[in-house]
Structure 1
């Protein structure tokens, strides 16, 4: 018995719909898998956290864009050769380590430039890690102080100055 043309067309259409349904089922979770990666890219202007390097406790460098950002709301002691005294050097190293640890654990890093610059020409910005302000996290750990607070007495101890 020969099948009519309408039956063949219906069978092909049915097979095509079944194939489309299978493709839809297989692809249903693709947006869910892509969402975290897209959110990370969007939150850093299209750059990943890997592109952000901690310079010190209050400064980050966007290696992809070549821009240094200093935290708007926080000041940390200077580490290394920029230190005036041993206490400042030690506090600066601690602040840098704390910032590196926090940035290293973050899944999403967001930089929000304020449009202002510090005296060294660095862009001032607020930085959030997984929705939490980096400056506030550093202050909570005692690794930094509020930017507009009275100066920290890092080098007040007698004989602490580096020559």
Structure 2
């Protein structure tokens, strides 16, 4: 996490949003610890794909301002997920971006495992 802190302090790293809960800061991939976003690249239905795109666009908007990256998952204390991504809470203007996106209905709280976004008809 020291690399990400240095990047933020220097403000030289570009942020690239991958999907509704993951983004890159320089060479560091960050996953927002407290949310589960619909899959953008592995969507199981059209509704999931549409919501995933809305979540990605909203995260881009929220990360465009001044942000604070708080390292670690507040629920588990882990600093990395099983894919090696840095886990962090992201704040903008003091507000938790994950909680904001949950309130907007674009993502849901992370409950320790992935749940399906598509309903069976």
TM-score range for the pair, normalised by the shorter chain length: 0.7 to 0.9
Report the secondary structure of 2:54's partner residue.
helix
Q: How does 1:1-163 map to 2 (within 5 A)?
A: 45-48=8-11, 51-63=14-26, 66-79=27-40, 81-104=41-64, 106=65, 108-114=66-72, 115-148=78-111, 152-158=115-121
- Once the two structures are superposed, what CA deviation does each residue of 1:64-93 show, in whole Å capped at 9, x if it has no partner? xx10110111111011x3222222111111
Structure 1 residues 98 and 43: alpha-carbon distance in aligned structure 2, compared to 1, 3 A threshold: farther
Conserved in 2, the CA contact under 8 Å of 1:44 and 1:111? no
TM-align CA RMSD: 2.4
* Structure 1: runs of 5+ lacking an equivalent: 1-41, 159-163
Structure (1/2) with the larger helix percentage: 1
* Structure 2: runs of 5+ lacking an equivalent: 73-77
Per the normalisation by structure 1, the TM-score is 0.60
> Which has more radius of gyration?
1
* CA-CA distance at 1:122 after TM superposition: 0.7
Equivalent residue pairs, number: 112
Report the secondary structure of 2:79's partner residue.
strand
Q: Quote the Cα distance in structure 1 between the aligned partners of 2:32 and 2:108.
A: 11
Per the normalisation by structure 2, the TM-score is 0.78
